[in-house]
A and B are shown apart, each in its own frame.
Chain A
Amino acid sequence: QQQVKQSPQFLIVQKGGIPIINCAYENTAFDYFPWYQQFPGKGPALLIAIRPDVSEKKEGRFTISFNKSAKQFSLHIMDSQPGDSATYFCAAGRGGGSQGNLIFGKGTKLSVKP
């Protein structure tokens, strides 16, 4: 019940494409769903986060779609660029995100070809 399942593991798109990464969770106590981006040699960095009271949130080229009934959420990257090539992690947490104990998906390695 504590798992967050993320797919796909690897994703290759052309520049300008819209990669979509999906995550699913079981525990309905989760109420905070962030996405993190990690470049080689760096720690993960927060991209965007959502709470279950909204179905979509957009920040720049990044959009989270959230389906509470299906217990699924996804990340869309509009007009993807080679600089977006990184590993993306979805995560889930409780307490509205007030605490540091997040459950992470296994990650998606995205490659955007020029």
Chain B
Amino acid sequence: KAGVTQTPRYLIKTRGQQVTLSCSPISGHRSVSWYQQTPGQGLQFLFEYFSETQRNKGNFPGRFSGRQFSNSRSEMNVSTLELGDSALYLCASSWGQTGANVLTFGAGSRLTVL
């Protein structure tokens, strides 16, 4: 059974640029959540998509956006990159319905902003 796949694994951008990260969830999972992980702030929730609709949103500026496609694959976009956006961006998928859903995380996309 394939796990959660995130691409690219590593990328380097400069301030002001934009970046798009991709996440392929486990087959059958309808929920995709995105998290930002930094040494200082730890794991912070960005947003969750369920059946192509944003279901929950964290406390991040509008430069951070996402979407989910009909096959449950998801992308997140960060525009006008800032140095502070350097982080590991993690995607997690789950069934997303009632009951305790196990979030299965991918290995992440490590973004460095210069």
User: Is the C-beta of A46 less than 8 angstroms from some C-beta in chain B?
Assistant: yes
Cβ–Cβ contact B42 & A105, under 8 A:
yes
Cβ–Cβ contact A97 & B45, under 8 A:
no
User: Is the C-beta of A98 less than 8 angstroms from some C-beta in chain B?
Assistant: yes
Interface string of B91-114 (1 = CB under 8 A from A): 010101111111111111000000
Cβ–Cβ contact B102 & A46, under 8 A:
yes
Cβ–Cβ contact B42 & A99, under 8 A:
no
The count of chain B contact residues (Cβ–Cβ below 8 Å) is: 31
User: Is the C-beta of B4 less than 8 angstroms from some C-beta in chain A?
Assistant: yes
Cβ–Cβ contact A101 & B33, under 8 A:
yes
Please name 30 pairs of A and B residues whose Cβ atoms are closer than 8 Å in the assembled complex, sorted by A. A42-B107, A43-B90, A43-B105, A43-B106, A44-B105, A51-B100, A89-B42, A89-B43, A91-B43, A98-B96, A98-B99, A98-B101, A99-B48, A99-B50, A99-B55, A99-B56, A100-B31, A100-B45, A100-B50, A100-B56, A100-B92, A100-B101, A100-B103, A101-B48, A101-B58, A102-B45, A102-B103, A104-B45, A106-B41, A106-B42
Complex contacts, A106 vs chain B, CB 8 Å: 41-42
Cα-based distance from A105 to B37 in the complex (angstroms): 12
Cβ–Cβ contact A103 & B108, under 8 A:
no
Cβ–Cβ contact B107 & A41, under 8 A:
yes
Provide the main secondary structure of the chain B interface. Answer: strand
Complex contacts, A41 vs chain B, CB 8 Å: 107
Cα-based distance from A103 to B43 in the complex (angstroms): 8
User: Is the C-beta of B81 less than 8 angstroms from some C-beta in chain A?
Assistant: no
Residue of A with least CB distance to B110? A41
Cα-based distance from A100 to B99 in the complex (angstroms): 12
